[in-house]
């Protein structure tokens, strides 16, 4: 009998099914795959940030040992450009500038790392040797690595198709109403900040293998992707002109993505194309240095904003002016990140009567910038939560009180913000109260005094946030410029003896989907977890899918599975009714058992599935054999996780080093399927948020060279830099998806940076500090302490 132990279903912290494979070294990552006869590609990249390519001489390289082929932009110029998946429109209604993004540079290199040529050879070392023999004549042009440099009058132009290096000039909200609100304001608080540029640094660098079967005309691409179907669509339709039926994309085990593996990258097209020309598999694997200059980076905003308040501290309106770095080319989702994933979140958890936001997106001579864990929402949350703290300081209000006073009331949901989104549910007061209680907010001053005795500056910071994930209703995003739908697909295949295979278009690259999704099935169909397998990451196995990003896998992908399970149960009930000689209306289904209501006559799911595949005694006139259903689920709205993060830091006075000593996260991620996995997701997100706040920054010099281009100079948080993160949940259910789930993948990275920075500013209060820019490195904090001390001495 398939009686499920209750601890395997929704709400159980079962161990991750996939970990045995990962922890015993049996994962199959793209680089682990060796195709018979495979050749190796090495990509020669531009050492200059901006240069005209006068000549590429590959003759010597072609003659090197083991070289199979050498290609340059001349060879690939007939291919389509790397497409952008989202089209924004300017204030005047005209479309954004969308210059061609060639697979290999054509005439010009536009960032350090821009692919200029590719060598295919018998071994990777031979390919690398030959690449050194390629002679490229560059005419170096002035670099424009930063937003301000790129927008300066007379700045060097990266693309003819983007005058002034401007991609778009966009806005949202009502300017006139907002201006009027400011005219009425009792107080206006201004604030300017930079959201630091980050390098995603997934543990596994990107890799791709192209293969081609000339007998069938089938192309196969193995790639480190979060969304193989999207890659198939983008690369097949736009770059290589291969029909979906002839293109298989496999994303096997993937070692972390954080957004950076959403996008379609040139290397994927290069290996697929080269394999079809050479009739040999072609493999490319990035090394870490290459990842730094070729993976899309994250964040990189410069913003000024203003908050209007009345005399009681109520918010009257918000004005925001943001410059967002796109890098040298538009990556797949880049244009929507600083607009629809950012400006639409600017109301935060507050009843903000009116908002007007302007965003200019700018091309710079840097690697592309796109979504990175949180994507736009960390930038919005950081801006708002720092601004609210500054407002509290400048109005003399308590930091918690100003938040509470402006929260969206719990009975006001569904709540329409002035910037397009409608929040379905939430309870910001409860997450705040729970976090204040857990963090011991009330007796913080005692801890501050204790730290002072040890010569340390202790501060506490709070952030109350909401984010939008579970993207997204296709019609809505379509009207906003998305060039794809954002539904998800799930198939439930009940096998003859009752075990289940789930096919999902979502992709797991560390999140634990193979467990969480199996729990959904265990819970709904009553099949033991050990008999549920989740298949993902292969376009030849999974019917379709849009992939994993924006914390959508459970909210959208899980909902598709629920829909498919509903279909399975509907059909199975009919079969059970036939077997039990009852009417279908009388059949009840619970945890794996079909029962004639009010009787002890039952059939187990396995008996029903056996009948479905061995239909000897079967309602064959009305029903097809088999028990497998597929559902497409298009969400009705975004989901809106939110919560409260509280951070305590201690700063060493004499070195300026800040250490996070306490961190409390109370999140509302909707219904929790596996609490242990949710806790892990929040902790990982918080680690990245602490990294952004205190350590991480991609720094380019004026020549456009990435100074922080390796782990020697890019500061990643390590275990010793992180506290035990206390994680708790306060659940309000999502009202519009069948599971009531909201998503937990990004909340940690979204809520935490302002909590950390508010704590840093709080710790430095005595030095008259209003704001500290991220990352708050020891040197930066010491400068503040030193300058403050000197100023105080002078006074």
Binding residues for another protein, rule: CB under 8 A, are: 125, 128-129, 289, 654-657, 695, 697, 699, 707-708, 711-716, 718, 777-779, 782-783, 786
Q: How far is the CB of 655 from another protein (least distance, A)?
A: 6
For residue 472, say if its preceding peptide bond is cis, omega within 30 degrees of 0. Answer: yes
Quickly count: other Cβ atoms within 10 Å of residue 244's Cβ.
Answer: 14
Q: How far is the CB of 760 from another protein (least distance, A)?
A: 15
Question: Which residue lies nearer to another protein by CB, 201 or 504?
Answer: 201
Q: Are 158 and 328 in contact (CB under 8 A)?
A: yes
Question: Which residue lies nearer to another protein by CB, 75 or 697?
Answer: 697
Give counts: helices (H), strands (E), the chain.
Answer: 20, 28
Question: Which residue lies nearer to another protein by CB, 422 or 710?
Answer: 710
Strand partners, 490: 504, 631
Q: How far is the CB of 197 from another protein (least distance, A)?
A: 13
Question: Which residue lies nearer to another protein by CB, 431 or 777?
Answer: 777
Q: How far is the CB of 321 from another protein (least distance, A)?
A: 28
Question: Which residue lies nearer to another protein by CB, 588 or 652?
Answer: 652
Residues in the chain: 795
Question: Which residue lies nearer to another protein by CB, 322 or 777?
Answer: 777
Question: Which residue lies nearer to another protein by CB, 290 or 667?
Answer: 290
Q: How far is the CB of 649 from another protein (least distance, A)?
A: 15
Phi, psi (rounded to 5 degrees) for 108 = -150, 145
Phi, psi (rounded to 5 degrees) for 406 = -105, 0
Quickly count: other Cβ atoms within 10 Å of residue 735's Cβ.
Answer: 14
Q: Are 178 and 319 in contact (CB under 8 A)?
A: yes
Q: Are 739 and 559 in contact (CB under 8 A)?
A: yes
Question: Which residue lies nearer to another protein by CB, 234 or 760?
Answer: 760
Measured at the alpha carbon of residue 775, what is the angle toward residues 349 and 717, in degrees to the nearest 5? 95
Question: Which residue lies nearer to another protein by CB, 498 or 656?
Answer: 656
Phi, psi (rounded to 5 degrees) for 177 = -65, -40
115-121/456-466 β-pairing: unpaired
Nearest to 304 by CA among 180, 194, 199, 159: 194
Question: Which residue lies nearer to another protein by CB, 584 or 787?
Answer: 787
Q: How far is the CB of 35 from another protein (least distance, A)?
A: 24
Q: How far is the CB of 66 from another protein (least distance, A)?
A: 12
| 229: its two tokens | 């179907």
Q: What is the dihedral of CA 733, 736, 739, 744, to 10 degrees?
A: -60
Question: Which residue lies nearer to another protein by CB, 163 or 455?
Answer: 455
Q: How far is the CB of 457 from another protein (least distance, A)?
A: 15
Quickly count: other Cβ atoms within 10 Å of residue 597's Cβ.
Answer: 11
Measured at the alpha carbon of residue 683, what is the angle toward residues 678 and 689, in degrees to the nearest 5? 125
Question: Which residue lies nearer to another protein by CB, 170 or 714?
Answer: 714
Q: Are 635 and 551 in contact (CB under 8 A)?
A: no
Q: How far is the CB of 522 from another protein (least distance, A)?
A: 40
Q: How far is the CB of 661 from another protein (least distance, A)?
A: 17
Measured at the alpha carbon of residue 469, what is the angle toward residues 520 and 529, in degrees to the nearest 5? 15
- Identify the burial level of 241 via C-beta atoms within 10 angstroms of its C-beta, where 0-12 means exposed, 13-18 middle and 19 or more buried: exposed
Question: Which residue lies nearer to another protein by CB, 47 or 83?
Answer: 47
Q: How far is the CB of 778 from another protein (least distance, A)?
A: 7
CA distance 573 to 588: 8
Question: Which residue lies nearer to another protein by CB, 415 or 700?
Answer: 700
Nearest to 17 by CA among 521, 496, 685, 492: 521
Match 């799930």 to its residue by tokens. 490
Q: Are 423 and 640 in contact (CB under 8 A)?
A: yes
Question: Which residue lies nearer to another protein by CB, 134 or 556?
Answer: 134
Who contacts 462 (Cβ-Cβ below 8 Å, separation ≥6)? Answer: 399, 400, 403, 435, 441, 644, 645, 646, 647, 755, 758
Q: How far is the CB of 656 from another protein (least distance, A)?
A: 8
Q: What is the dihedral of CA 288, 539, 559, 253, to 10 degrees?
A: -30
Question: What's the DSSP call for residue 207?
Answer: E
| 268: its two tokens | 């994927």
Q: Can you list the alpha helix ranges (DSSP code H) found in 420-473?
A: 428-439, 444-453
Q: How far is the CB of 299 from another protein (least distance, A)?
A: 17
Measured at the alpha carbon of residue 577, what is the angle toward residues 501 and 498, in degrees to the nearest 5? 20
Q: Are 175 and 355 in contact (CB under 8 A)?
A: no
Q: Are 575 and 554 in contact (CB under 8 A)?
A: no
Question: What's the DSSP call for residue 741?
Answer: B
Q: How far is the CB of 99 from another protein (least distance, A)?
A: 31
Question: Which residue lies nearer to another protein by CB, 167 or 706?
Answer: 706
Q: In what order do the strands lie in the sheet with 642-652?
A: 456-466, 642-652, 658-668, 725-729
Question: Which residue lies nearer to another protein by CB, 591 or 653?
Answer: 653
Q: How far is the CB of 699 from another protein (least distance, A)?
A: 5
Largest CA distance in the chain: 96
Question: Which residue lies nearer to another protein by CB, 304 or 715?
Answer: 715
CA distance 731 to 761: 31
Question: What's the DSSP call for residue 602?
Answer: E
Q: How far is the CB of 695 from another protein (least distance, A)?
A: 6
Who contacts 153 (Cβ-Cβ below 8 Å, separation ≥6)? Answer: none
Q: How far is the CB of 214 from another protein (least distance, A)?
A: 34
Q: How far is the CB of 378 from another protein (least distance, A)?
A: 21
What DSSP string runs through 468-516? -BS---HHHHHHTTBSS---EEEEEEE-TTS-EEEEESS--SSS-HHHH
């Amino acid at each position: 009998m398939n009686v499920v132990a209750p601890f395997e279903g929704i709400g159980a912290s079962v161990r991750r099914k996939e970990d045995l494979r990962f922890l015993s070294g049996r994962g199959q990552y793209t680089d682990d795959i060796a195709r018979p006869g495979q050749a190796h590609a090495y990509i020669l990249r531009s050492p200059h940030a901006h240069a005209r390519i006068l000549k590429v001489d590959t003759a010597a390289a072609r003659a090197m040992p083991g070289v199979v082929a050498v290609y340059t932009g001349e060879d690939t110029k007939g291919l389509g450009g790397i497409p952008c998946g989202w089209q924004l429109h300017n204030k005047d209604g005209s479309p954004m500038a969308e210059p061609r993004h060639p697979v290999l540079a054509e005439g010009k290199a536009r960032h350090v790392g821009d692919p200029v040529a590719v060598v295919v050879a018998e071994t990777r070392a031979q390919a690398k040797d030959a690449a050194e023999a390629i002679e490229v004549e560059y005419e170096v042009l002035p670099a424009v690595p930063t937003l301000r440099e790129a927008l300066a009058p007379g700045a060097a132009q990266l693309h003819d198709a983007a005058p002034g290096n401007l991609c778009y000039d966009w806005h949202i909200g009502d300017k006139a109403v907002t201006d009027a609100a400011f005219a009425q304001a009792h107080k206006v608080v201004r604030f300017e900040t930079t959201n630091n540029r980050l390098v995603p640094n997934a543990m596994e660098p990107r890799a791709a293998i192209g293969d081609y079967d000339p007998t069938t005309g089938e192309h196969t691409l193995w790639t480190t992707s979060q969304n193989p179907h999207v890659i198939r669509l983008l690369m097949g339709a736009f770059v290589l002109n291969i029909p979906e039926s002839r293109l298989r994309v496999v994303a096997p085990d993937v070692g972390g993505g954080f957004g950076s593996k959403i996008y379609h990258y040139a290397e994927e097209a290069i290996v697929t194309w080269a394999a079809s020309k050479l009739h040999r598999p072609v493999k490319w694997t990035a090394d870490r240095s290459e990842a730094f200059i070729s993976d899309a980076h994250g964040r990189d905003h410069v913003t000024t904003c203003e908050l209007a308040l009345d005399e009681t501290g109520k918010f009257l309106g918000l004005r925001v002016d943001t410059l967002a770095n796109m890098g040298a080319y538009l990556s797949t989702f880049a244009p929507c990140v600083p607009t629809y994933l950012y400006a639409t979140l600017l109301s935060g958890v507050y009843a903000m009567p009116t908002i007007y936001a302007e965003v200019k997106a700018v091309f710079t001579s840097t690697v592309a910038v796109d979504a990175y864990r949180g994507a736009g929402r960390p930038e919005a949350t950081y801006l708002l939560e720092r601004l609210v703290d500054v407002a509290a300081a400048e109005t003399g209000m308590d930091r918690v009180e100003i938040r509470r006073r402006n929260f969206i009331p719990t009975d006001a949901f569904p709540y329409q913000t002035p910037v397009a989104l409608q929040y379905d549910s939430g309870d910001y007061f409860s997450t705040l109260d729970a976090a204040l209680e857990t963090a011991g907010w009330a007796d913080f001053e005692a801890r501050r005094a204790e730290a002072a005795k040890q010569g340390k500056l202790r501060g506490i910071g709070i952030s109350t946030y909401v984010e939008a994930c579970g993207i997204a209703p296709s019609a809505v995003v379509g009207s906003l410029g998305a060039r794809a739908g954002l539904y998800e697909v799930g198939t439930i295949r009940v096998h003859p003896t009752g075990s289940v295979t789930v096919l999902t278009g979502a992709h797991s690259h560390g999140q634990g989907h193979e467990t969480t999704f199996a729990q959904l099935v265990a819970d709904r169909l009553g099949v033991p977890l050990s008999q549920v397998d989740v298949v993902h990451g292969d376009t030849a196995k999974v019917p379709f899918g849009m992939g994993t990003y924006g914390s959508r896998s459970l909210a959208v992908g899980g909902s598709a599975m629920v829909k498919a399970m509903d279909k399975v149960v509907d059909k199975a009930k009919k079969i059970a009714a036939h077997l039990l000689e009852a009417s279908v209306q009388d059949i009840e289904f619970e945890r794996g058992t079909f029962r004639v209501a009010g009787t002890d006559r039952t059939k187990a799911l396995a008996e029903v599935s056996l009948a479905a595949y061995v239909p000897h005694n079967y309602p064959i006139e009305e029903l097809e054999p088999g028990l497998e259903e597929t559902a497409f689920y298009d969400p009705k709205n975004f989901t809106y996780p939110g919560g409260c993060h509280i951070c305590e830091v201690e700063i060493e006075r004499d070195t300026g080093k800040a250490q996070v000593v306490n961190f409390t996260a109370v999140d509302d991620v909707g219904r929790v399927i596996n609490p242990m996995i949710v806790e892990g997701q929040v902790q990982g997100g918080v680690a990245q948020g602490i990294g952004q706040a205190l350590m991480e920054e991609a720094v380019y010099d004026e020549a456009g060279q990435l100074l922080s281009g390796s782990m020697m100079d890019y500061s990643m948080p390590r275990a010793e830099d992180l506290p035990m993160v206390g994680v708790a949940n306060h659940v309000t259910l999502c009202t519009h998806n069948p599971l009531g789930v909201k998503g937990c993948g990004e909340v940690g990275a979204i809520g935490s940076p302002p909590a950390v920075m508010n704590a840093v500013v709080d710790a430095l209060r005595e030095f008259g500090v209003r704001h500290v820019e991220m990352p708050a490195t020891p040197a930066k904090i010491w400068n503040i302490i030193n300058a403050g001390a000197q100023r105080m001495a002078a006074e």
